[in-house]
Chains A and B, each alone.
Chain A
Amino acid sequence: MTQSVVVQVGQCGNQIGCCFWDLALREHAAVNQKGIYDEAISSFFRNVDTRVVGDGGSISKGKICSLKARAVLIDMEEGVVNEILQGPLRDVFDSKQLITDISGSGNNWAVGHKVFGHLYQEQILEKLRKSAEHCDCLQCFFVIHSMGGGTGSGLGTFLLKVLEDEFPEVYRFVTSIYPSGEDDVITSPYNSILAMKELNEHADCVLPVDNQSLFDIISKIDLMVNSGKLGTTVKPKSLVTSSAGAFKKRQEKPFDAMNNIVANLLLNLTSSARFEGSLNMDLNEISMNLVPFPQLHYLVSSLTPLYTLADVNIPPRRLDQMFSDAFSKDHQLIQADPKHSLYLACALMVRGNVQISDLRRNIERLKPSLQFVSWNQEGWKTSLCSVPPVGHCHSLLALANNTCVKPTFMDLRERFTRLYKKKAHLHHYLQIEGMEESCFSEALSSLSALIQEYSQLDATKSMPVEDLPRLSVAV
């Protein structure tokens, strides 16, 4: 069994991270009734005897003493991290896992990347190495950050290069929150494009998420919960947005619901690696199957179901509905319509009491309405994990490598160009040491090249699939 380390950077990254740890504890508490520290828990948590001072307290087996998250928390202002450390999760984090500063990055990628990157490089390396040492077999770094600000965007992506150099064999999965159209940070297009270049070059896999989609999902759930239709009471713990039953019992903050969705994404992504099932899927298989070419590593995700109705019997139609929903544009975590774009590859990660025949039936059913690239007509990767998420009997996470990410990128590029043409706010960036106009133009061309690749693939969409002539051999 392998371990993963979560690196949460910036305000957004840390808030999401906090929700993630909360839900992770809840999930393991539900599964692990006996309180034994097993391999599943060890993937994200260390077992520590807190009476021991210093480093020697790690316990590898036996009863759970005190769980510590395998996390590194980084923020250039103290507010969010302090709040975490004073909240109900304070015992889950080690004070040695934090890196904070006071002044913040002022929504400036250059400050986050160049200034703080340089300033904190040694500390970051040290904390990362420490967290890696505590792992028996470290497989993956999960980086959580936003693209639009300064710390998450700048320092978060600076980190990626450090991770690549220091731990080249360990995967780098990045969950990136992309700015929505009406983002209130004016310079978010600059920050995002500069960050994109780093993601293109140093991430193994990126899971883009945008706030608008999360918000739409929440509205949909609210509608359902409040509609009061007869017989449609929703099971309380089952909301993908809720932390009911989790440790944070105080009044939920405005972004909590949205953050919980992303936290659930990460939990479901790693479920088949942590828990048993009849068809396992490890984290290294995600990259292997879903990244056909190194640059095309952006995966669109969708989670279903969003809630579970309180009916006890789930007839097969509900199960099939779960699969259909995964492909509808309402359930995607970014504004995208995969059904009308081209699939390069698709992974279905199922949890709960679902068998191979259910999976196959639904693939057969949905296949005709989806377009796959000519060289990957049956590009499905599937996994079955026996342990369902808390509050559900089954759930599905669909990860698609699909050209439908292109509009998001093109949109970003347009917003960028609008600002850049007028050289608006540019001086804030250029006055930072190490920043030049070429940084901007390089980032822009990196993005354009990526968009071009997707366009080329899109162009093959309506072409008939022809079998290529085979090798002819002498018998």
Chain B
Amino acid sequence: MSIVTVQLGQCGNQIGFEVFDALFSDSHCTQGLCSKRENEAYRSSCKERFFNEEENGVPIARAVLVDMEPKVINQTLSKAVQSSRWKYGQRSCFCQKQGSGNNWAYGYSVHGPRHEESVMNLIQKEVEKCDSLGGFFIIMSMAGGTGSGLGTFITQNLQDQYSSSLKMNHIIWPYGTGEVIVQNYNSILTLSHLYRSSDALLVHENDAVHKICAKLMNIKQISFNNINQVIAHQLGSVFQPTYSEEGSFHYRRNPLGIDWQVQPPLSRLPTLGKRSLSEQLRFNTSIANLVVLRGKDVHSADVAGFKDPALYTSWLGPDNAFNVWTTQRAFSKYEKSAALVSNSQFLVKPLDMIVSKAWNMFASKAYIHQYTKFGIEEEDFLDSFTLLEQVVASYCNL
């Protein structure tokens, strides 16, 4: 099963490069801690998913690079070429000159329709090169203009054109203390629209990753390279091949999975009175968890802790809500590694924070003229707020 990656904007392209690099490095790692045959199966599965092969054997990433200004894409392409181990397709990029100016409305309403055909064509070409399409992995940030606005537009198009394929959006949650002043507006517009067209939103918060670099890795002067490499490492450890039901040597599971999104049964949601957010979230309830284990002793690992019913909701018990994927092949020279992907209440606080700040700003009407200039009206903002309040409430009520 192959995955087509769409990298959008500065953030999307910078991270995308690190992801492919991490995937490639890992798959060509010699210390896999497993048999040669196992390693071969792993490597070819990874290759099928993420890379195409050129005539001279150089792997080409299954990716479409999109940005509204050329500097970052040029850098990304040349970094790949310099590494001389893998590269991007020569004609896989779409670039414009002027950027989106951190304006979601510009990315969505102007760049979107204007470049819809070109971008979708590029994606189509990439899809045609796949024997079997597993789905789309769309990397974007929420705070800027291209990743957020154009990314949302493209996702909606993918929903229309490839409705039966999975779409997973990889969203970068900006630092709480501004990278972009209008980041909260851009974020709520992105999230509310994606909720209607994406199948899964995989989130990385800059603040959280920054803390990892600072506290766990003890990096003194943290650069975006460090941050992106951590993110790529985490993604790699989830997306690299794992055994399918048939067991060893059979790496056929779709890395995007099918049990990422769960619909709660409408009739059985318990009604709760009005409690403050912090009260409700003292305990992090999960809807579903996925643990990915790689390396030595993977079969004897004890995951009972994850099966505790107390972690889950009343309407979806651990038998359905908890999954483990394993492979004996070690990831990136780590003898043992584990990754956890969780659909739980952990994002409620950050989401609530963003909605709150955006709401405060919206009440003063600051910056709204920059959006209405390009067709995003106050109504659209209100719709977004309403939808996100519902999301927050639903998660709180788990």
A residues engaging B (CB < 8 A)?
A: 1-2, 39, 136-137, 139, 276, 278-280, 282, 284-285, 287-294, 345, 355-358, 360, 363-364, 367, 374-382, 384, 467-468, 470-475
Contacts and interface: CB of A to CB of B under 8 A. Distances in A.
B369 A279 contact: no
A475 B394 contact: yes
B269 interface: yes
Interface stretch (B220-228, B312-320, B335-343): B220-228
B36 interface: no
Given A288-B182, A376-B366, A282 B69 contact: yes
Contacts of A384: 224
A367 B177 CA distance: 10
A475 B101 contact: no
Nearest to A465: B360
Nearest to B75: A276
Contacts of A357: 210, 213-214, 219-223
A367 B359 CA distance: 22
A41 to B, nearest CB: 14
A339 B361 CA distance: 22
B270 to A, nearest CB: 11
A360 B175 contact: yes
Interface string B340-354: 000000000000000
A104 B361 CA distance: 48
Given A378-B357, A468-B363, A470-B359, A278 B223 contact: yes
A377 B97 CA distance: 32
Interface stretch (B53-61, B195-203, B246-254, B385-393): B385-393
Contacts of A285: 99, 101-102, 145, 180
Contact of A355 (B101, B221, B397): B221
B367 interface: yes
Contacts of A276: 71-72, 75
Contacts of B221: 355, 357-358
Given A280-B72, A355-B222, A470-B389, A375 B364 contact: yes
B39 interface: no
B356 interface: yes
Interface of B: 10, 14, 69-72, 75, 97-103, 145, 175-182, 210, 213-214, 219-225, 227, 269, 355-357, 359-361, 363-367, 369-370, 385-386, 389-390, 393-394, 397
A2 B96 CA distance: 10
Contacts of A363: 177-178
Contacts of B100: 284
Contact of B363 (A284, A375, A381): A375
B357 A473 contact: no
17 contacts: A1-B71, A136-B97, A276-B71, A279-B224, A280-B71, A284-B101, A285-B180, A288-B182, A294-B369, A355-B224, A357-B219, A378-B357, A380-B177, A382-B178, A384-B224, A471-B385, A475-B393
B361 A375 contact: yes
Contact of B225 (A2, A278, A289): A278
Given A375-B361, A468-B360, 9 more contacts: A1-B71, A276-B71, A280-B10, A285-B99, A374-B364, A380-B179, A381-B178, A467-B356, A475-B390
B223 A293 contact: no
B176 A378 contact: yes
A381 B103 CA distance: 13
Contacts of B180: 285, 289, 381
